[in-house]
Structure 1
């Protein structure tokens, strides 16, 4: 039988696909069919999220700059309220959350999820997108931190050791938001159960609130830092939805190119 055009068979592999085709079908391409209205809805959602995220971040940044990079009225009000809630048991819970969503715990979780997901899944496109979204969040936050150079709350209010780095935006909150929201989308966008998807995003939302609350409660960030991080995460989530839809979503009549995706195509 003649070799399929474009498979790039390598020496010694017989008629099997070459390394690039294997790599391409596993890591580069994942295709799925959906109705035109559904794909249009995903693009619309992506645009809305990016516009809302950009507007919310711009508003938070403008308020922070207007205050001279100091605390705003809302920041002071939130800090005063959280000080009244402090207790030894609650502090322990918040420290636990800070460790889980911190610079040690969260990267380990992300690494394990990506490696296991990448090896077990037929396609590795989604774990690669998740890793890229997380890396983008880290890079963006570090750039903004150095530009704005906002000071953190007073050291004597910090309950988990002093931190003299810059405050705006919160890297902890941004990392938690990116991981929870992007993972929820990448998982439930392939499911046809709207209730499961709603539950998944509700759980992700609760995680986002807890991550932000822990940083404010422990005295490491202002409220506006957390708001800016959530806004940036919405912007990144919108970009992920647009990219994933462009790369994977096919409507009836469009051609599927990935060999591993063809088995899932209607009529195959």
Structure 2
């Protein structure tokens, strides 16, 4: 006799999302709440990027960055070998614009089919768009030079160094993908392994940029922070969306 499947546990509302949703105008729909939250988040992340630029300029004037960046680059240069250089170059390319686009599109295709919803497209797309915007803004604001080509592994890159675009994009996009997969998985072990794998990938993408001499450590560290911050705001927007839908259903079951 077949046994009934275990019902999926309801997603808990985030306290911040719940408070925000209950203060939104009653005429505002769930998608409107989602877009407003993302817009507020985008403004906040813009301020974060500007603040990171100010911090960088302050430290650069005191030459404090060199005390961290140069010794680390010198250290990783001692670990290089032809085989390792080739492997790390291949791996870092998975975090490029093309590589992350392929990963994002594959995740969107799978998650959209599984969840039977277009929200994965919106959330992952928002993660990617925000990370690209922060990368462009940071590079334009700072214009920091990359490590010398003599210390880098080819192929060389010539765009400004701060922040690391590979790291920022990978952090934001993979974090949101991990969040969406987390909602799909039931087993704690599967969730733990998935989070560990995603975290390791993001960490190693950043390390690969330093190893290849394409970025300074501080470029990567700021990219990790900005990427996680933006991903957190995208996740919060999803919680606001879900909370608004729940509240509106409670008020009027016929409305979304």
With normalisation by structure 1, the TM-score equals 0.71
Give the corresponding residue for 1:17: none
Structure 2 counterpart of 1:97, from 88, 91, 94: 91
Give the corresponding residue for 1:222: 216
CA distance in 2, matches of 1:98, 1:215: 7
Return closer, same or farther for 1:224/1:76 CA change in 2, 3 Å cut-off: same
Instruction: Tell me, yes or no, if structure 1 residue 157 matches structure 2 residue 151.
Output: yes
For residues 217-251 of structure 1, the C-alpha deviation after alignment (integer angstroms, 9 at most, x for no partner) is: 11100000000100101111210121010102479
Q: How many residues align?
A: 224
Instruction: Return the offset for 1:117.
Output: 3.4
Structure 2 counterpart of 1:84, from 78, 92, 101: 78
CA distance in 1, matches of 2:62, 2:231: 27
Instruction: Return the offset for 1:109.
Output: 2.3
Moved more, 188-197 or 123-132: 188-197
CA distance in 1, matches of 2:154, 2:162: 19
Structure 2 counterpart of 1:67, from 49, 60, 66: 60
Query: What is the RMSD computed on CA atoms of the aligned residues?
Result: 3.6
Instruction: Return the offset for 1:155.
Output: 1.1
CA distance in 2, matches of 1:211, 1:102: 10
Is the CA contact 1:176–1:211 (under 8 Å) kept in the aligned structure 2? yes
Give the corresponding residue for 2:170: 176
Mind listing any 5+ residue stretches in structure 2 that lack a counterpart?
1-8, 20-43
CA distance in 1, matches of 2:179, 2:253: 22
Return closer, same or farther for 1:165/1:84 CA change in 2, 3 Å cut-off: same
- Kindly report which structure 2 residues correspond to 1:16-35, keeping only aligned pairs within 5 A, or say none: 33-35=10-12
Larger C-alpha radius of gyration, 1 or 2? 1
Return closer, same or farther for 1:34/1:172 CA change in 2, 3 Å cut-off: closer
Moved more, 247-256 or 159-168: 247-256
Is the CA contact 1:43–1:241 (under 8 Å) kept in the aligned structure 2? no
CA distance in 1, matches of 2:130, 2:235: 14
CA distance in 2, matches of 1:151, 1:143: 15
Q: Which structure features the higher share of helix residues?
A: 2
Instruction: Tell me, yes or no, if structure 1 residue 40 matches structure 2 residue 15.
Output: yes
With normalisation by structure 2, the TM-score equals 0.74
Return closer, same or farther for 1:188/1:216 CA change in 2, 3 Å cut-off: same
For residues 18-49 of structure 1, the C-alpha deviation after alignment (integer angstroms, 9 at most, x for no partner) is: xxxxxxxxxxxxxx9445xx5328779xxxxx
Is the CA contact 1:34–1:252 (under 8 Å) kept in the aligned structure 2? no
Instruction: Return the offset for 1:121.
Output: 3.5
- Kindly report which structure 2 residues correspond to 1:109-258, keeping only aligned pairs within 5 A, or say none: 109-119=103-113, 121-249=115-243, 255=249
Mind listing any 5+ residue stretches in structure 1 that lack a counterpart?
1-31, 45-50, 263-268
Is the CA contact 1:180–1:208 (under 8 Å) kept in the aligned structure 2? yes
CA distance in 1, matches of 2:253, 2:134: 32
